[in-house]
Amino acid sequence: MNLPETGPLLDAGDLVLRPPLGTDLPQLVEAFGDAEVTRISGMTRFGEPPYGENHAIAWLDRQREARADGRRMMLAIELAGSLAGTIDIDLANAGQGRGELGYWVTEPYRGRGIARRAIRRVSEYATGELGLARIEILVEPHNVASCRAAEAAGFTREGLLRQFLEFEAQRHDLVMYSLLPGE
């Protein structure tokens, strides 16, 4: 998929959703100190923690490469000038009109509806500007906060995909959520 070279800059109330910047590095390093963020963000591809600035730079480079190739668009979730998390659209199935959202929110910002608002705004962008016909979210069943965020953003729980994905040398069940344009 051809993604815009710059942007987008999306407004979601008091949140700004924007491409990650080099100035985010200190906050990324701090975020990657959280075991849940490390796991969800894919940092484990860069070795074992602790993760420093070089790891965060490698992570950012990987996001930029994926965007340039049209495979994924990562956006930083900014609240009051601080990095509160990230949200991305995986476009591996964009040729079939599908995109998959992934997101994480740092510990100080959890429980404030930030994921829900980011999910909703990025979904609007993905179905409107990118023309996707279906947005999906896959969540581990025990990740109650992410399940709640998906549902609060208007996604429909479709079911449990048993042993759907292998990571961390194990097969994992995932819950499938979806959103169609206009929902």
Q: Which helix (H) or strand (E) holds 161?
A: strand 156-167
Which of the residue ranges 49-58, 78-87, 142-151, 158-167 would you say has the lowest mean pLDDT? 49-58
Q: Tell me the pairing of strands 134-139 and 98-105.
A: parallel
- Given this model, what pLDDT does residue 12 score? 95
63 close to 90: Cβ distance less than 8 angstroms: no
Q: Which distant-in-sequence residues (6+ apart) come within 8 Å of 148 by Cβ?
A: none
pLDDT tens track for 5-52: 778 999 999 999 999 999 999 999 999 999 888 888 877 777 788 889
pLDDT at 163 over 90: yes
One-letter amino acid for residue 152 of the chain: A
Q: In what order do the strands lie in the sheet with 10-12?
A: 10-12, 15-18, 72-79, 82-90, 98-105, 134-139, 170-179, 156-167
115 close to 12: Cβ distance less than 8 angstroms: no
pLDDT at 173 over 90: yes
Residue 108 preceded by cis peptide, ω within 30: no
- Given this model, what pLDDT does residue 116 score? 98
Q: What percent of the chain has pLDDT over 90?
A: 83
Q: What is the mean pLDDT of the chain?
A: 93
Nearest Cα to 2, choosing from 130, 119, 116, 103?
Answer: 130
Tell me which DSSP letter residue 13 carries: T
**Average pLDDT of the segment spanning 162-183:** 93
Name the pTM for this structure. Answer: 0.93
pLDDT at 152 over 90: yes
Domains and CATH numbers, the chain: 10-135 (3.40.630.30)
